[in-house]
Structure 1
């Protein structure tokens, strides 16, 4: 469709505002022109290695200036980046690389151990270390002058309730409308500067890069969250917005003590679950605006946001849908719920995914009359504010990471001594929630320490249960379905 075409985002931004700072990282910075030139040069090196338009290419990198250049180099070529969570095990990464039919993998030396294990399991997969780029010859790249908003830009894997990861297809249009919706909600000023210490492999991080080129706004990128460095950069880089999850915000408030934030700081964008009342009250007392949000990988970041003026009066609410988006609550019979009536949350909008990679039938269960089924339960009040009651029913949110019990249970059940396993969560002061496991053993031989080590080899650390409880049986209903809410009761 001709009307779905627009100029390549980085090319256009470098043309419009070449001398504006695009990204700060440690003591380095790049203007949009410099970012374009470095990305163009890297695109030429990728092309020389056979990476080309339309391919799916795995990206396993940390938050770094090089990572930003590489991600935009892939956009210039029209390559679809399969952005991999670097906290996953090699086995989990290999599964995603196979599922996406990745043509190659771009990674870095700090993941040498994982890289060796991946090469051992996928010996035919071409792998390129970012440290090798400088030594590669550069071709004149065949760059994408225009992008089609319907084309896939990125793939990010999210686990389903069955424990099987699915590659969420995020189009250029999804990213564009997500950025537009956020700008229409937060507003935008010339002096805005966004601090990003959330991972770029998460949609929360990647969406900030997209906003940068669309808005012409600098991003202050951190490799990971460091509260002292965060406060320093608030002042030295004049940060106005920061994306956080609950435990990050708590640590910032505690670190600040009586010290106020700079007057030019506009807001925290809070995701990863609702904020507890004491935290919100502390922010109000310090006159710190917090925008609570609700979103997912399938909506290319936030789709519902609570403005700070409602943070107390609408306590517990995720807010209202962003301008281009809609929210609806449906009952089990498919009827629209009444005000205050709980049901499944459905969303609609141009930032919602078109589907899952290599799973053409997966959206049949997800989309009903154009509305996307989130699997989450909530209700709308009389003013249209969304309240999320349960996220995908059994979902555990640990430090902003989504953890699905079924995935952990599948690993535990693969242990020869485990007859049955159930996973739920307990509250944790630092992470919000952490997974815990209830085990029915065959012969009572395994210890909690042995099961923990077994899981660590097969799951990312944040998914590994923090406690193991050995029980005689697990609670199940008449259909033999595990009743996770009854675990430990």
Structure 2
């Protein structure tokens, strides 16, 4: 079934309900469906059909939502791309994606046109030279459009990874994946018709896209924000009675930092945290601020964020991300060298199998083959489970530090450092060493300047095996972040 059919059903069931809000502007489900049909006809008029690629390089906006749904209604594959990318980053993604149409702004179009085929159609939301005005086209287009009865395996999304372990790769997802994950989110988040979901994560990111698809399928309101501003988003949460929020740890940390107790957050019933290192302390403080569960979870671009999530109605064992009992996806922890399944308490590579997994890495058959073994996807993450199948994410395999033949998992050392009073955040990376191969180095943000390097090292030596303790401590005022708020470990490695 075509995902857009569910938006059509919501427009029939509650035509005057608000589907999308951005600031004081709102669009009902009836208005949204009308614009989507018109935009689908615009794409059809420019030759977009089944299997073509529509790239969107836009900020969180109503036009992003309309463009995405219109492309899906044409059975095209949507490729959302960060509009803030530099030319070199566009130069890696666009030649591979080779989009048939790009929906963007005139500023972005002027910078990236040379990276696409000559026959690519350029639609912009703000006019421009040698571009077609998207709004003007929609206003003239017919709203008479029939959403096709799409087969489940038709490709829907081409989501590029964040590139934290190399160049971004395009993960291909089908309409079936979008529908299944949207339903799973709705169940886990208790997302229902009328709920207002704050969409502060970038829409081009898998989390941001899933917020849109889950909310619209459930009949809720997508509340779009203009970038990330902690005070502005808290104000929006208060003003618009936001019910749900999903974000990375830095967002929750920002909220805790700027909150002065004046915001009314009582309408919030669910928050979701993930995508980076999560601490028990951060979850507990965030729950105290928001007055609702902050669910810890694990997912990735290759699963359209589906994975292992906490169940609010069952036992929780923080910092576990939940139990390995999800009917949507299977999980296994194996020795990465032998493929043998690990026993409880033994770390290994987390591998996943199930409906939400990517169909392939776009135009990368060798990397696709390398990523799967007998249907199991290699996540590249180190994890362990306990006797009751609670899953604990330890680290990225690529981040593991090999010191004198011993594996050092940075997250274990980081958590130990963060136990100290006066430490807000720690990130541990490896530095090349002639004798040991690598040595752990800690980069620390402290709230108490009396905390010394020796105090941190002594605490680690008391709590961990000696080979795990950081040999050097670097204090910073802020961490370098990538475009979705994750700590840029590669930048830190270069700094130390």
TM-score normalised to structure 1 length:
0.76
Mapped pair 1:327 → 2:331: yes
Gaps of 5+ in 1: 398-404, 406-421, 431-455, 470-487
Q: Which one has more relative contact order, counting CA pairs under 8 Å at least 6 apart?
A: 1
Residue among 148, 151, 157 paired with 2:151: 148
Gaps of 5+ in 2: 127-132, 401-409, 412-428, 430-437, 447-481
Spell out, residue by residue over 1:167-193, the C-alpha distance to the aligned partner (whole angstroms, 9 max, x if none). 100111111111222223232344422
Residue 338 of structure 1 corresponds to which residue in structure 2?
343
Residue 413 of structure 1 corresponds to which residue in structure 2?
none
Contact residue 329 and residue 337 of structure 1 kept, 8 A? yes
- Corresponding pairs, count: 412
Contact residue 98 and residue 117 of structure 2 kept, 8 A? no
Deviation at 1:376, TM superposition (A): 0.8
Residue among 197, 201, 210 paired with 2:200: 197
Spell out, residue by residue over 1:395-421, the C-alpha distance to the aligned partner (whole angstroms, 9 max, x if none). 999xxxxxxx9xxxxxxxxxxxxxxxx
Mapped pair 1:166 → 2:169: yes
Contact residue 56 and residue 81 of structure 2 kept, 8 A? yes
Residue among 251, 266, 274 paired with 1:271: 274
Mapped pair 1:130 → 2:125: yes
Q: Say which SS state the counterpart of residue 92 (structure 1) adopts.
A: helix
Contact residue 77 and residue 143 of structure 1 kept, 8 A? no
Residue 372 of structure 2 corresponds to which residue in structure 1?
367
Question: Which has the higher mean CA deviation after the structures are superposed, 154-163 or 171-180?
Answer: 154-163
Contact residue 21 and residue 30 of structure 1 kept, 8 A? yes
Residue 209 of structure 1 corresponds to which residue in structure 2?
212
Deviation at 1:141, TM superposition (A): 6.6
Deviation at 1:381, TM superposition (A): 1.0
Deviation at 1:123, TM superposition (A): 6.5
Q: Structure 2: how far apart are the matches of 1:97 and 1:121?
A: 6
TM-score normalised to structure 2 length:
0.75
Mapping of residues 61-460 of structure 1, within 5 Å:
61-109=58-106, 112=107, 114-122=108-116, 124=118, 125-131=120-126, 132-136=133-137, 137-138=140-141, 143-158=146-161, 163-258=166-261, 261-286=264-289, 287-307=291-311, 314-321=317-324, 322-331=326-335, 332-394=337-399, 427=443, 429=445
Q: Structure 1: how far apart are the matches of 2:192 and 2:52?
A: 37
Mapped pair 1:34 → 2:34: no
Q: Aligned in 2, Cα 1:116/1:123: closer, same or farther, shift over 3 Å?
A: farther
Deviation at 1:78, TM superposition (A): 1.4
Deviation at 1:7, TM superposition (A): 7.2
Deviation at 1:317, TM superposition (A): 1.6
Q: Structure 2: how far apart are the matches of 1:190 and 1:9?
A: 13
Q: Structure 1: how far apart are the matches of 2:243 and 2:89?
A: 37
Q: Structure 2: how far apart are the matches of 1:388 and 1:105?
A: 37
Q: Say which SS state the counterpart of residue 185 (structure 2) adopts.
A: helix
Q: Structure 2: how far apart are the matches of 1:49 and 1:223?
A: 30
Spell out, residue by residue over 1:450-477, the C-alpha distance to the aligned partner (whole angstroms, 9 max, x if none). xxxxxx9xxxx979836855xxxxxxxx
